[in-house]
A = this chain, B = another copy of it.
Amino acid sequence: MQSLQKLITRPLLSYRWRFHTSCHSQQDMLKGKVDKWKGVTVDLGSPDCGLEGTYIQTSLRELDAFAGMLRKSLKQWKTEGKRAVWLKVPILQSRFVPVAASQGFQFHHADKQYSMLTTWLPKDHCKIPHFASHQIGVAGCVLREDTKEVLVVQDRNRETSHMWKLPGGLSDPGEDFGDTAVREVFEETGIKSEFQSILTVRQLHNYPGAFGKSDLYIVCRLRALSHDINHCADEIIGCKWTDVGELATTQSTSLISTHVARLVLHGFREGFDTIDIGMKELPAVFKNMTYKLYHRQIPDL
């Protein structure tokens, strides 16, 4: 860990904040990129933003100069009919954030090493899109074809440790539903499996543990590729193959597991095509990207 004094002294020696001190208006302004929605984005981490420097600085004069540039820039952008202003601030330059907040900016989002602030210039209703609003949890309903059993676990969580539930967890960034299900099942139970379909999707708002956001819980039907359980003792206290009919009727599970078990019983009787939400991979309009589309599979699609 570096001492604060070091952090403060070093940039004073090795970097110098450079404010464009000319009295010509363009040089007192922040420089941003304009988008097609008449928005402006200024990245304080970019050498082209109109000011330069790094790290913790505490000179009042510097903050004051930034405040002046920002005020002037906002006035100019308003005159030009600009709408959203986006300010990207590297984490180590967060001393500028209170200055921007005092001129009407709020946090839009932040991730690891930067925060993004924004303000809406027109007087009408703010049209800045919200940041990501949902976390994704995925469970695997792993079925054995030979015994018609389903894989269930008891987790370490004290309040619900008596309940048998489907293994699962949160999606990693950029991970497809089925991949989360297969990965979480393997991590928690040692069972290998293969994605077949989605069985159900639950949407719940103000989810405890989602930092004020919403939660989607998605249950995937997986086909077991192995049968020998080797469960992760850190997360799981019990793991077993159980009769689907028993999961459908036990009180020691969640309402969603009961629903899933009843769907699966119906699937065993009438065919899984009666309960499956199937998946298809298709090319996106964006170059070299594909997406996964989930819907009922019908003959002519």
List residues of A whose CB falls within 8 A of some B CB.
Answer: 1-5, 7-8, 36, 55-56, 58-60, 63-64, 67, 71, 91-95, 97-99, 101-104, 106-116, 129-136, 158, 170-174, 176-177, 198-206, 208-214, 216, 254-256, 259, 262-263, 266, 274-277, 282-286, 289, 291-296, 298-301
- Of all A-B residue pairs in the complex, the 7 with the closest CB atoms, nearest first, are A110-B110, A94-B97, A107-B110, A200-B295, A4-B67, A204-B291, A132-B213
Query: What's the least CB distance linking A186 to chain B, in Å?
Result: 16
Can you spell out 24 A-B residue pairs with CB atoms less than 8 angstroms apart? A1-B102, A1-B103, A4-B67, A8-B60, A58-B59, A107-B113, A107-B115, A129-B170, A130-B135, A130-B172, A132-B213, A132-B214, A133-B136, A134-B135, A134-B216, A174-B214, A176-B203, A177-B203, A200-B295, A201-B277, A216-B216, A262-B301, A277-B277, A277-B296
Select A115's contact among B60, B113, B115, B300, beta carbons within 8 Å: B115
State the CA gap A113–B284 with chains docked (Å). Answer: 36
Which B residues are in CB contact (< 8 Å) with A63? 4, 56, 58
Tell me how many chains of this kind the complex includes: 2
B-side contacts of A135, CB under 8 Å: 129-134
- Cβ-defined contact, A134 with B131, below 8 A: no
Contact indicator B210/A132 (Cβ below 8 Å): yes
* With A98-B95, A202-B291 as contacts: A211 and B60 at CB distance below 8 Å: no
Q: Which chain B residues lie closer than 8 Å to A198 at the CB level? A: 201
Q: In the complex, A106 Cα to B90 Cα: how many Å?
A: 11
Q: Which residue of B lies closest to A3 (CB)?
A: B67
Contact of A292 among B58, B60, B202, B212 (CB under 8 A): B202
Closest B residue to A176 using CB positions: B203
Residues of B within 8 A of A266 (CB): 298-301
Cα A209 to Cα B131 in complex, Å, equals 10
* Bound: A257/B185 CA distance, A: 34
Contact of A91 among B106, B116, B294, B298 (CB under 8 A): B106
Whether the Cβ atoms of A64 and B277 lie closer than 8 Å is no
Q: Which residues of B contact A210 (CB under 8 A)?
A: 132
Residues on B with C-beta less than 8 A from A133 are 132, 134-136, 171, 173
Verify A295–B259 contact, CB threshold 8 A.
yes
Contact check, A131 vs B4: say whether CB atoms are below 8 A apart. no
CB-nearest residue of chain B relative to A214? B174
Residue of B112, B208, B256 touching A293 (CB-CB under 8 A): B256
Smallest distance from the beta carbon of A262 to chain B beta carbons, Å? 5
- Nearest residue (CB) in B for A92 is B98
Q: Are B106 and A112 in contact (CB under 8 A)?
A: yes
- Nearest residue (CB) in B for A235 is B127
Nearest residue (CB) in B for A95 is B95
Q: In whole angstroms, how far apart are the Cα atoms of A280 and B295 in the complex? A: 18
